[in-house]
């Protein structure tokens, strides 16, 4: 424990936060008195350092290098500032300061981390602009492009557990406001590590000379997003329910609804105001079982036609429709179903607008292959990317992109990231247009199947105690490719570590079966899980359902053999 104890004392010397100082002081004292649990906790807090990568930083709040706190954020901000100054080179020396814009959501310490970052950026000689209040992640992504910023930082942990927070980085210029990818992540991380090794986070230069963004910036986002789908005649009388999942989406969305002309929803009152404790949900993610129960209860009381939900930082969208065949009478659409409908809408719009050559639809490689069918139907290009909008948003000629984890990019001209608010507006437009034709959203789903084919998807997640188990399974599958999954032969296997098509290398196996089905195996990027993504295309809804159930049973049997 002596190593961890020494690290803890060094940490205390540079921690500006009285709460985490008190927390660590008490833990250190208990550990030194022989408390085994305290000693183990102390070891865990300093056994590693939260890694800065293409997702920035994300982790549990608390003292120590393996937690999210003001010391770690100070080091990250100073490292990012050093990177931007290095890239600016002579122009920075000539007085053309790199510009960084900073946003934050309603999680614990989000404003504190954002304000610290603004002071440190300004202290390093950058021009720093702090958003005027807690706002959705898409507003920050918009601000990077709108202000012509060199970089943006969003303090959020999205839909993670309540005691987490994170630090997401965007780059301007040639990156067009997208999230960082290699090699920028490693270059920024190297600067952060250099600063961390030097210690003395408390002595990093700070300045109160940062700016606060004007309200006109938010108004510009509102105007651009309302223009995604102004309300058609079919919107009149639409009965719908909205939940912000205790996040920051409602204030911005409400202004957009007014500008775009949509009727106000019935709100899930207990979840509409930002609350970092997330008191009504065990896990603030619309995908999680039970997370939308209050929304469904509200919808039943309001005789609603539609439920729309954002996650806490409003970069994801969930949609549910009435369905008497399921318990409770409401069914949440899958991310693939929403993505295919919005992709269909985008493809029609691109054709009507006589889109330029090279206009494309894009999705992550684990998302439904149905989007490629849509793109080909309308003569558009299609791109499959690695998971994450840092890749999807970089697809050449993109007019729409999505990933099955409820992320959708519907207005790439203004936001190069997933945006749950603009996606909500696009969905309201799609539903309203259908209502004008006398159709429900369920009718539109059936029409899609009849037009493009009956696609079905499923996902299997295997949580492990030791991450090494995942590496062992991936190695076994690579050493001996499966010959069949269930009763269906495997036709070929793509190993992305070896490079496939125009995809960057990744720890992903893609198995193609002789009947056209697909299985993708990859480790989770954020949790100790192995994930399998299953996709089939059937001749009918019943055929697709049978195929996906059979494929899932075969995939589970394959895992059991490893």
Q: Which two tokens stand for residue 559?
A: 């895992």
Summarised one tens digit per residue, pLDDT across range 343-396 is 999 999 999 998 889 999 999 999 999 999 999 999 999 999 988 999 999 999
Same domain, 436 and 510: no
Answer yes or no: do 424 and 311 share one domain. yes
Mean pLDDT of all residues in 128-139: 98
Do 174 and 208 lie in a common domain?
yes
With bands split at pLDDT 50, 70 and 90, how would you rate the model's confidence at 526? Answer: low
Which pLDDT score, from 0 to 100, does residue 93 have?
60
**Same domain for 342 and 417:** yes
- Please, are residues 107 and 312 in contact by the beta-carbon 8 Å criterion? yes
Residues 425 and 468 in one domain: no
Any domain includes 445: yes
Domain termination site, one of 431, 450, 469 = 450
Residue 7 lies in a domain: no
Q: Are 250 and 424 in contact (CB under 8 A)?
A: no
Name, in order, each residue with C-beta under 8 angstroms of 254's C-beta and a sequence gap of 6 or more: 264
Domain that holds residue 410: 216-450
Cα–Cα distances in angstroms (integers) from residue 142 to residues 67, 98, 179, 255, 414, in the given order: 29, 18, 12, 16, 6
List C-alpha distances in Å: 406 to 8, 15, 318, 339, 399: 40, 37, 6, 8, 17
**Beta bridge partners of residue 170, listed in sequence order:** 152, 179
Tell me whether residue 257 is in a domain: yes
Q: Tell me how far apart the alpha carbons of residues 181 and 56 are, in angstroms, rounded to a whole number.
A: 10
> What gap in Å lies between CA 521 and CA 210, rounded to an integer?
46
336 assigned to some structural domain = yes
The token pair at 35 is: 């408390």
Give the start-end residues of each E strand in 390-453.
398-403, 407-409
18 confidence band (pLDDT: 50, 70, 90) = very high
Is the preceding peptide bond at 313 cis, omega within 30 degrees of 0? no
Which residues sit opposite 53 in a β-bridge? Answer: 56
pLDDT tens string 151-188: 999 999 999 899 999 999 999 999 999 999 999 999 99
Q: CA dist 120 to 107, 128, 204, Å?
A: 21, 9, 7
* Rounded Cα–Cα distance for residues 55 and 121 (Å): 20
Q: Pick from 197, 213, 229: which residue ends a domain?
A: 213
Query: Quick check: is 5 in a domain?
Result: no
Q: Does residue 503 register a pLDDT over 70?
A: yes
483 and 495 fall within a common domain: yes
From 91, 175, 167, select the one nearest 126 (Cα to Cα).
Answer: 91
What integer is the mean pLDDT of 304-314? 98
Task: Tell me the catalytic residues.
Answer: 158
Secondary structure of 464-497 in HEC code, one letter for each residue: CCCHHHHHHHHHHHHHCCCCEECCEEEEEEEEHH
CATH of the domain at 477: 3.30.310.50
Domain assignment present for residue 46? The answer is no
Q: What is the mean pLDDT of residues 413-438?
A: 97
Residues in Cβ contact with 456 at an 8 Å cutoff, skipping those fewer than 6 apart: 535, 536, 537, 538, 544, 545, 547, 548
Both 488 and 507 in a single domain?
yes
Task: Give the pLDDT score at 53.
Answer: 82
SS3 124: coil
The whole-number pLDDT of residue 506 equals 84
Confidence band (pLDDT; 50, 70, 90) for 529? confident
Residues 437 and 370 in one domain: yes
Nearest Cα to Cα of residue 164 among 69, 243, 73, 56: 69
Q: How many domains does the chain have?
A: 3
For the cut 90, the answer to whether the pLDDT of residue 266 exceeds it is yes
Same domain, 86 and 109: yes
Rounded CA separation 182/495 (Å)? 20
What CATH number is given to the structural domain containing 93? 3.40.120.10
Find all residues with CB under 8 Å of 391, minimum gap 6, and list them. Answer: 181, 364, 385, 504
- Residues 116 and 77 occupy one common structural domain: yes
Helix 110-123, helix 70-88: angle, nearest 10: 40
3-state SS assignment for residue 251? helix
Does 145 share its domain with 222?
Answer: no
Among 432, 450, 468, give the residue marking a domain's end.
450
The residues, any chain, with a CB within 8 Å of residue 22's CB and separated by 6 or more, are none
In a domain, 47, yes or no: no
pTM above 0.85, yes or no: yes
Specify the residue for token string 């919107």: 235
Phi, psi of 85 (to 5 degrees): -65, -40
Beta-strand (E) ranges in 404-553?
A: 407-409, 454-463, 484-485, 488-495, 509-513, 518-523, 529-538
- Both 179 and 271 in one domain: the answer is no
Gyration radius of the chain's alpha carbons:
24
Question: How high is the mean pLDDT of the chain?
Answer: 94
DSSP string, 317-367: EEEEEE-TTSGGGEEEPPHHHHHHHHHHHHHHHHHHTTPPTT-EEEEETTS
Residue 6 counted as domain residue? no
Q: What is the pLDDT of residues 81-98, one digit of tens each?
A: 999 999 998 666 656 899
């Amino acid at each position: 424990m002596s190593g961890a104890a020494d690290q803890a004392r060094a940490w205390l010397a540079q921690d500006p936060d009285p709460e985490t100082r008190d927390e660590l002081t008490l833990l250190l004292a208990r550990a030194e008195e022989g408390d085994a649990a305290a000693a183990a906790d102390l070891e865990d807090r300093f056994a590693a350092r939260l890694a800065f990568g293409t997702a920035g930083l994300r982790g549990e709040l608390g003292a120590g290098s393996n937690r999210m706190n003001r010391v770690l954020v100070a080091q990250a901000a100073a490292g990012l500032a050093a990177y931007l100054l290095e890239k600016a080179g002579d122009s920075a020396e000539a007085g053309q300061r790199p510009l960084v814009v900073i946003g934050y959501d309603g999680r614990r310490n989000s404003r504190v981390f954002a304000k610290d970052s603004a002071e440190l950026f300004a202290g390093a000689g950058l021009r720093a602009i702090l958003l005027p209040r807690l706002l959705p992640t898409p507003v920050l992504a918009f601000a990077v492009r709108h202000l012509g910023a060199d970089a943006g930082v969003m303090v959020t942990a999205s839909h993670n557990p309540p005691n987490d927070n994170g630090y997401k980085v965007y780059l301007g210029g040639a990156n067009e406001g997208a999230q960082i990818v290699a090699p920028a992540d490693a270059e920024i991380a190297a600067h952060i590590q250099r600063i961390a090794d030097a210690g003395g986070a408390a002595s990093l230069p700070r300045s109160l000379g940062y700016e606060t963004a004007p309200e006109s910036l938010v108004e510009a986002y509102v105007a651009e997003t309302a223009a995604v789908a102004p309300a058609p005649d079919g919107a009149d009388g639409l009965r719908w329910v909205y939940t912000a999942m205790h996040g920051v989406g409602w204030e911005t969305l409400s202004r957009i609804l007014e500008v775009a002309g949509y009727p106000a929803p019935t709100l899930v009152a207990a979840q509409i105001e930002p609350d970092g404790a997330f008191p009504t949900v065990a896990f603030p993610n619309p995908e999680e079982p039970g997370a939308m129960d209050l929304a469904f209860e509200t919808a039943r009381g309001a005789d609603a036609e539609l439920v729309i939900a954002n996650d806490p930082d409003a970069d994801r969208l969930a949609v549910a429709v009435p369905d008497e065949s399921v318990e409770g009478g409401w069914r949440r659409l899958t991310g693939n179903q929403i993505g295919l409908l919005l992709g269909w809408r985008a493809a029609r719009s691109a054709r009507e607008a006589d889109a330029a050559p090279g206009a494309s639809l894009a999705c992550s490689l684990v998302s439904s292959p149905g989007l490629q069918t849509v793109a080909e139907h309308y003569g558009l290009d299609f791109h499959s990317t690695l998971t994450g909008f840092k890749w999807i948003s970089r697809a050449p000629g993109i007019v729409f992109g999505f990933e099955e984890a409820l992320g959708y990019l519907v207005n790439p001209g203004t936001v190069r990231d997933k945006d749950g608010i603009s996606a909500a507006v696009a969905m309201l437009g799609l539903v309203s247009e259908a209502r004008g034709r006398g159709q429900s959203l369920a009718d539109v789903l059936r029409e899609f199947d009849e037009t493009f084919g009956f696609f079905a998807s499923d996902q299997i997640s295997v949580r492990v105690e030791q991450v090494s188990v995942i590496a062992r399974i991936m190695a076994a599958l690579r050493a001996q490719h499966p010959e069949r999954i269930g009763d269906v032969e495997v036709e070929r296997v793509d190993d992305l570590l070896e490079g496939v098509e125009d995809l960057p290398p990744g720890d992903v196996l893609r198995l193609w079966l002789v009947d056209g089905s697909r299985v993708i195996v990859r480790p989770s990027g954020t949790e100790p899980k192995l994930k399998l993504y299953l996709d089939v295309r059937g001749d009918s809804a019943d055929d697709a359902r049978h195929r996906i159930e059979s494929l899932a049973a075969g995939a589970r049997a394959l895992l059991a053999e490893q």
